[in-house]
């Protein structure tokens, strides 16, 4: 019996990265896939538009959680991957794998939630697909959304533009989505009022890019949290990242849950937050723009990019020390999106 | 306890059409989705390129079957949906839902098969996603592929162009895919040499459109078979369809299996066939072009479009009678793609 797929292969950490690098990239290799970004930019002909394209399957459990459900999440997740390239999200496809026995009322509620989220994000669901699997071969419903957006002329946002000296901003408190879903799933009931931050970030990105037109890179820290996002970018851009742990906003309910479970809030998933790498001269304007937007009121400056320790993320701790913020391994929080 | 999802909701027949019309279309409504085609065409700006976009999730069981596997099928299925709009398929996204415990060697084999199929079809896999679900919440692997292609200037192929008098061509024998998969799944072992027809049809379409540039409509008769494809098009175009049952090619092994199981070969799935609606003056050239291509050697003229009995498909039977070819209801052959 050889190796098999384990839950950690899907959790957004090192195990998943290794699986992708070993199993998927070599046979399918091409310059787009090699970027390993959350979306890719496609050029139509030599003079044509540039399209951003992103795909995501959603297997969140439970289907309904405080602050959202699999339908709204499936819209937000893909819209956000497009927005992180500075693209204007336009179109989504939606493909459903339904489990035999799913109450049609649950499906109706999910589709309505999806429709509301699409309307709010300004995208159209232009094509779809429906498959059904036998009871015990699915989990209610899995949804794939694939998004297509237009990258405006002149916009070029990605890890390749990160430079030492860049200021790192975070749009708000971390871990709300992961802890809200986990709390619902395990019936842990740490708290009563924590809800997922699931939201479309395209408006926030627009505000940010208006104030900071030379922003270098954006990333939404979903599976694997801020720790995974910063580690991936540090490696991709071959730079060091240094953050001030005390500057990272965390709600008391999330902090308490993480302490109880032994989690680092930096590895817990978000679905409505972004980290932005901006040149220092635009950092203040960018931070103000984030804070002026309803989804960025608690935005904070959390760190800087350095030329030292390339590929590594360090945190200054509360007591003046430094620690390595590792890429999470993988098994912590599966099926969070 | 209200209504729930049943297997027939995914089988490509009337139950699925009703579910889509009732649950998906009203909340998500827009002109693209309303077409209910296998792909949609998106216009980039007023002067820009036209994109064809299509999405499909694949849940075929077993993962490996005579003539293919879920990896090659996931490429062919989506590439073919683009080709049916006359589009040149360019890019695919690929999203995997893996079940805990899947042997990594199976996954490697599937990804390699996908890569080979993509190379042969001339498409790049440009973005991907990996999720993992617990043992017993999936079935090895489910794959979503979403395809983007370019529709060449002047090409306009779709049900809206079907006219009475159009000749209906079929590119080869029906039912190979459905019976090959079913035979493998149920261990029925009707025969030893039947293999799935899973193949990329973009080359065949190119040859067809060169010979018959005014072809009106193309459709690959997958789930629900030729019966579902013709019924959908008869309704969409508000025309009658009349076919000559004896003219529809069926391999002896498929005919024998269908007789044993009580299936009409017209409702069995294909993954490498197309039906073409062409104006009569181009019918002969189109048929010759199909027959000159390796994937269309057994192409046949199977019927015509009439102004009578709009929305209905009639077959002339071997003994000179006529029967209604109904839209299949749904429960026959689930998880065939």
- Give B299-336 pLDDT, tens digit per residue: 999 999 999 999 999 999 978 899 999 999 876 778 99
Q: Three-state SS for B98?
A: strand
Q: Which residue of A3, A48, A146 is in closest CB contact with B49?
A: A48
pLDDT band, residue A44 (cuts 50/70/90): confident
| Residues of chain B found within 8 Å of residue A12, distances taken between Cβ atoms | none
B61-B63-B65 Cα angle (round to 5): 90
- Give A307-316 pLDDT, tens digit per residue: 999 999 999 9
Domain assignment present for residue B10? The answer is: yes
- Inspect the interface and report whether the beta carbons of B57 and A10 lie closer than 8 Å: no
Domain assignment present for residue B101? The answer is: yes
Q: What is the pLDDT of residue B192?
A: 65
Residue B139 sits in a domain whose CATH number is 3.30.1330.10
Q: Which residue of A5, A134, A146 is in closest CB contact with B146?
A: A146
Domain assignment present for residue B85? The answer is: yes
> How far is A235 from chain B, CA to nearest CA, in Å?
19
- Give B239-282 pLDDT, tens digit per residue: 999 999 999 999 999 999 999 989 999 999 999 999 999 999 99
- Inspect the interface and report whether the beta carbons of B23 and A124 lie closer than 8 Å: no
Q: Which residue of B40, B45, B49 is in closest CB contact with A126?
A: B40
> How far is B41 from chain A, CA to nearest CA, in Å?
9
Q: Which residues of A76-99 are buried (b: 16+ CB within 10 A; e: fewer)?
A: bbbbbbbbbbbbbbbbbbbbbbbb
Domain assignment present for residue A331? The answer is: no
Q: Which of B86, B121, B151 is the last residue of a domain?
A: B151
> How far is A320 from chain B, CA to nearest CA, in Å?
38
End-to-end CA distance of chain A: 30
| Residues of chain B found within 8 Å of residue A42, distances taken between Cβ atoms | 90-91, 126, 148
| Residues of chain B found within 8 Å of residue A335, distances taken between Cβ atoms | 131-134
Domain assignment present for residue B300? The answer is: yes
Q: Which of A34, A96, A129 to mutate to test the interface with B (most CBs of B within 10 A)?
A: A129
| Residues of chain A found within 8 Å of residue B97, distances taken between Cβ atoms | 57, 59, 97, 142
Q: Which of B21, B42, B50, B55 to mutate to test the interface with A (most CBs of A within 10 A)?
A: B55
pLDDT band, residue B96 (cuts 50/70/90): very high
Segment A6-21 mean pLDDT = 92
Question: Quick check: A191 pLDDT over 80?
Answer: no
Domain assignment present for residue B334? The answer is: no
The reply to whether A144 and A191 lie within a common domain is no
Contact B311, B234 (CB under 8 A): yes
Residue B172 sits in a domain whose CATH number is 3.90.650.10
The reply to whether A178 and A241 lie within a common domain is yes
Size of interface A-B (CB pairs under 8 A): 266
Q: Which of B41, B100, B132, B228 to mutate to test the interface with A (most CBs of A within 10 A)?
A: B132
Averaged confidence pLDDT in chain B: 94
The reply to whether A144 and A169 lie within a common domain is no
The reply to whether A50 and A16 lie within a common domain is no
The reply to whether B208 and B299 lie within a common domain is yes
* Segments forming the whole domain that contains residue A313: 159-324
Contact B85, B147 (CB under 8 A): no
Residues 6+ apart with CB under 8 A from A31: none
- Which residue of B lies nearest to A51 if distances are taken between CA atoms? B44
Q: Which of A151, A170, A203 is the last residue of a domain?
A: A151
Residues 6+ apart with CB under 8 A from B45: A49
Report how far residue A195's alpha carbon sits from residue A207's, in angstroms, rounded to the nearest whole number: 24
The reply to whether B309 and B167 lie within a common domain is yes
Domain count, chain A: 3
Higher local confidence (pLDDT), B157 or A49: B157
Report how far residue A3's alpha carbon sits from residue B232's, in angstroms, rounded to the nearest whole number: 45
- Inspect the interface and report whether the beta carbons of B126 and A33 lie closer than 8 Å: yes
Question: Quick check: A137 pLDDT over 80?
Answer: yes
> How far is B6 from chain A, CA to nearest CA, in Å?
5
Helix axes of B252-261 and B176-186: crossing angle, nearest 10 degrees: 60
- Inspect the interface and report whether the beta carbons of B139 and A142 lie closer than 8 Å: no
ipTM above 0.90 for this complex:
yes
The reply to whether A137 and A97 lie within a common domain is yes
Report how far residue A214's alpha carbon sits from residue A210's, in angstroms, rounded to the nearest whole number: 9
Averaged confidence pLDDT in chain A: 94
The reply to whether A80 and A176 lie within a common domain is no
| Residues of chain B found within 8 Å of residue A134, distances taken between Cβ atoms | 7, 334-335
Question: Quick check: B107 pLDDT over 70?
Answer: yes
Assign 3-class secondary structure to chain A: CCCECCHHHHCCCHHHHHHHHHHHHHHHCCHHHHCCCCCEEEECCCCCCEEEEEEEEECCCCCEECCEEHHHHHHHHHHHHHHCCCCEEEEEEEEEEEECCCEHHHHHHHHHHHHHHHHHHCCEEEEEEEEEECCCCCCCEEEEEEEEEEECCCCCCCHHHCCCCCEEEECCCCCHHHHHHHHHHHCCCCCCCCCCCCCCCHHHHHHHHHHCCCCCEEECCCCCHHHHHHHHHHHHHCCEEEEEHHHCCCCHHHHHHHHHHCCCHHHCCCCCCCEEEECHHHHHHHHHHHHCCHHHCCCEEEEEEECCCCCCEEEECCCCCEEECCCCCCCCCCCCC
Q: Which of B151, B168, B201 is the last residue of a domain?
A: B151
Segment A297-311 mean pLDDT = 98
pLDDT band, residue B44 (cuts 50/70/90): confident
Question: Quick check: B190 pLDDT over 70?
Answer: no
- Give A87-124 pLDDT, tens digit per residue: 999 999 999 999 999 999 999 999 999 999 999 999 99
Domain assignment present for residue A80? The answer is: yes
Among A277-281, A298-302, B332-336, which is the least confidently predicted range?
B332-336
pLDDT band, residue B132 (cuts 50/70/90): very high
Q: What is the pLDDT of residue B191?
A: 58
Contact B264, B221 (CB under 8 A): no
Q: Which of A52, A93, A269 to mutate to test the interface with B (most CBs of B within 10 A)?
A: A93
Question: Quick check: A18 pLDDT over 80?
Answer: yes
Domain assignment present for residue A336? The answer is: no
The reply to whether A100 and A237 lie within a common domain is no
Q: Which residue of A5, A20, A57 is in closest CB contact with B95?
A: A57
The reply to whether B191 and B171 lie within a common domain is yes
Q: What is the pLDDT of residue B48?
A: 77
The reply to whether A21 and A58 lie within a common domain is no
The reply to whether A188 and A242 lie within a common domain is yes
């Amino acid at each position: 019996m050889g190796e098999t797929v384990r839950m950690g292969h899907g959790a957004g950490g090192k195990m998943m990265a290794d699986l992708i690098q070993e199993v998927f990239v070599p046979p399918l290799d091409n310059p787009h896939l090699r970027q390993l970004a959350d979306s890719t930019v496609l050029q139509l002909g030599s003079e044509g538009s540039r399209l951003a394209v992103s795909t995501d399957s959603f297997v969140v459990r439970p289907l309904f959680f405080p602050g959202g459900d699999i339908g709204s999440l499936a819209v937000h997740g893909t819209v956000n991957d497009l927005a992180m390239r500075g693209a204007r999200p336009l179109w989504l496809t939606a493909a459903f794998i339904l489990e035999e026995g799913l109450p049609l009322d649950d499906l109706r509620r999910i589709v309505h939630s999806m429709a509301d989220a699409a309307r709010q994000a300004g995208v159209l669901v232009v094509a779809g697909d429906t498959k059904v699997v036998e009871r015990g071969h699915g989990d209610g419903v899995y949804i794939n959304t694939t998004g297509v957006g237009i990258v405006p002329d002149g916009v070029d946002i990605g890890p390749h533009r990160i430079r030492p000296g860049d200021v790192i901003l975070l749009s708000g408190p971390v871990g709300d989505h992961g802890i809200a879903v986990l709390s619902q799933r395990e019936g842990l009931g740490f708290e009563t009022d924590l809800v997922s931050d699931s939201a479309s970030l395209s408006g926030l990105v627009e505000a940010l890019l208006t104030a900071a037109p030379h922003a270098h890179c954006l990333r939404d820290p979903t599976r694997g949290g801020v720790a995974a996002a910063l580690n991936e970018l540090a490696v991709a851009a071959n730079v060091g990242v240094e953050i001030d742990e005390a500057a990272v906003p965390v709600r008391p309910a999330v902090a308490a849950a993480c302490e109880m479970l032994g989690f680092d809030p930096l590895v817990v998933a978000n679905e409505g937050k972004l980290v932005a790498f901006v040149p220092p001269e635009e950092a203040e304007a960018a931070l103000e723009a984030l804070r002026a937007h309803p989804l960025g009121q608690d935005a904070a400056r959390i760190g800087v990019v350095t030329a030292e320790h390339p590929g590594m993320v360090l945190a200054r701790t509360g007591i003046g020390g430094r620690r390595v913020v590792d890429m999470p391994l993988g098994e912590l929080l599966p099926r969070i999106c």
